Amino acid sequence: MKQVYQETLHQDYGQFFTISHELYREKTEHQDLVIFENAAFGKVLALDGIIQTTTGDNHIYHEMLVHVPLLAHGNARNILIVGGGDGGTLREAVKHPLDRATMVEIDSHVIELSKEHLPELSDGAFDHPRSEVIVADGFAFVEQTDQRFDVIIVDSSDPVGPSAVLFSEEFYRNCRRCLNPDGILITQNGVPYLQSDELKNGHRILSGLFEDVTFYLATVPTYSGGPMAFGWASTSPDPRNTPLETLQARYAERALQTSYYTPDIHKGAFALPPRVSRLITG
Ligand code: SAM
């Protein structure tokens, strides 16, 4: 009988992964961490019973998390990544002409073990000259920093354990404080068909803090339950309305090699089905 990893994110629905080889398991100071190999998705990182990312489908999530805001903004020099310990978000970020990408990750074990067992995810980004990696609570970082950022990307786990504070009004208020004019905040906002409260709460809180708030969607096979939502919050409607031709020009100038993101998918991702729109408009 094959060993199986059963995800425990949802009460009445779930997914399992057969484990062809367990690479590492540890209860860190912050969370239960498992890295294993699965025949369908390659290597898998799970935290506290929830699938975080896989070598098989991570590019969808990381490309949409990074290239949408950075190509919409067009001139981001200084960005902040909160969470993202596996390094996939940083990998995509350093492909852009930034001055610096600062990553604030609470659990050093996620970084170190991802470097060791999942090097494909970071692909050297942790050592990139424009990367700065800080081990700290992202909540406290944005509360205390005097730095300003053009884009803030919250690559958090789901709102359980150490990530819960990254879905709070106080955290988003401090993110707003740390953004430059025309700044953009992007959040990991769960799967609307199964985590509708996460979307509703995110929209309610962000709408009270930002001028332009919406969501965009992408389907990541191992984030089970349908398309996942990325929260979009900006101090101006302009970045979201960047014309397709401009996105195409920036995409070409930066010679981005992508497996999922294209400027057309960027624009299309903001088209929300009525069932999701109704969660936002009530
Ligand atoms: N792609 C995943 C998803 O959509 O759920 C997220 C992956 S990434 C591994 C999530 C990271 O957030 C983890 O490494 C976790 O340690 C980190 N994290 C959780 N709470 C945090 C906090 N308060 N400050 C900084 N990092 C945090």
For residues 196 and 169, membership in a common domain is answered with yes
| Helix or strand run (H / E) with residue 43 | strand 42-47
257 — phi, psi (to 5°)? -100, 110
What atom in ligand 1 is closest to the CA of residue 31? 16
Q: Is 97 left (phi over 0), alpha (psi -120 to 50) or beta?
A: beta
Q: Write out the residue range of the structural domain in which residue 23 sits.
A: 3-54
pLDDT score recorded for residue 160: 85
Q: Which amino acid is at 238?
A: D
Measure 161 CA to ligand 1 centroid, in angstroms: 10
Ligand 1 neighbourhood includes 231 CB (under 6 angstroms): no
- Are 187 and 160 part of one and the same domain? yes
Whether residues 167 and 49 fall in one domain: no
How many structural domains compose the chain? 2
Structure tokens at 179: 């953004």
How far away, in angstroms, is 23 Cα from ligand 1 center? 20
Is residue 155 among the annotated active site residues? Answer: yes
Asked if 214 and 270 touch (Cβ cutoff 8 Å), the reply is: yes
Are both 90 and 13 inside the same structural domain?
no
Token representation of residue 184 = 């953009």
Same domain, 14 and 149: no
- Same domain as 203, residue 123: yes
105 CB within 6 A, ligand 1: yes
Locate the ligand 1 atom nearest the alpha carbon of residue 104 and give its number: 25
Last residue of a domain, one of 32, 54, 76: 54
Question: What is the whole-number distance in angstroms between the Cα of residue 1 and the centre of ligand 1?
Answer: 32
pLDDT bracket for residue 2 (50, 70, 90)? confident
**Model's pTM, two decimal places?**
0.97
User: Same domain, yes or no, for 176 and 251?
Assistant: yes
- Do 202 and 263 share a domain, yes or no? yes
Tell me the CA–centroid distance for residue 107 and ligand 1, in Å.
8
The residue whose CB lies within 8 Å of the most ligand 1 atoms, and thus the one to mutate among 157, 171, 194, is 157
Cβ of 82 less than 6 Å from ligand 1: yes
Over the stretch 221-245, which tens digit does the pLDDT of each residue have?
A: 999 999 999 999 999 999 999 999 9
CATH classification of the domain holding 9: 2.30.140.10
Q: Count other Cβ atoms within 10 Å, centred on residue 93.
A: 29
Looking at ligand 1, which residue's alpha carbon is closest to its atom 17? 83
CATH of the domain at 70: 3.40.50.150
Q: 193 with 138, same domain?
A: yes
Q: Are residues 131 and 163 in the same domain?
A: yes
Helices (H), 130-195: 138-144, 169-177
Q: pLDDT digit string (tens) for 118-127?
A: 999 999 999 9
Mean pLDDT of the region 234-258: 97
* DSSP code, position 197: H
Distance separating alpha carbons of residues 120 and 112, to the nearest angstrom: 13
Same domain, 213 and 182: yes
Residue-wise pLDDT for 109-148, tens only, equals 999 999 999 999 999 999 999 999 999 999 999 999 999 9
Same domain (yes/no): 97, 69 = yes
- Per DSSP, the three-state class of 48 is coil
Residue-wise pLDDT tens digits, 56-108: 999 999 999 999 999 999 999 999 999 999 999 999 999 999 999 999 999 99
| DSSP three-state, residue 188 | strand
Q: What would the pLDDT profile of 153-211 be if each residue is shown by its tens digit?
A: 999 999 888 999 999 999 999 999 999 999 999 999 999 999 999 999 999 999 999 99
Q: Which pLDDT value is given to residue 105?
A: 98
Q: What share of the chain is helix, strand, coil (3-state, %, to 5)?
A: 35, 30, 35
pLDDT tens digits, one per residue of 19-62: 999 999 999 999 999 999 999 999 999 999 999 999 999 999 99
Report the alpha-carbon distance of residue 68 to residue 238 in Å, rounded.
Answer: 13
Residue of 107, 150, 155, 158 marked active site: 155
pLDDT over 80 at 1, yes or no: no
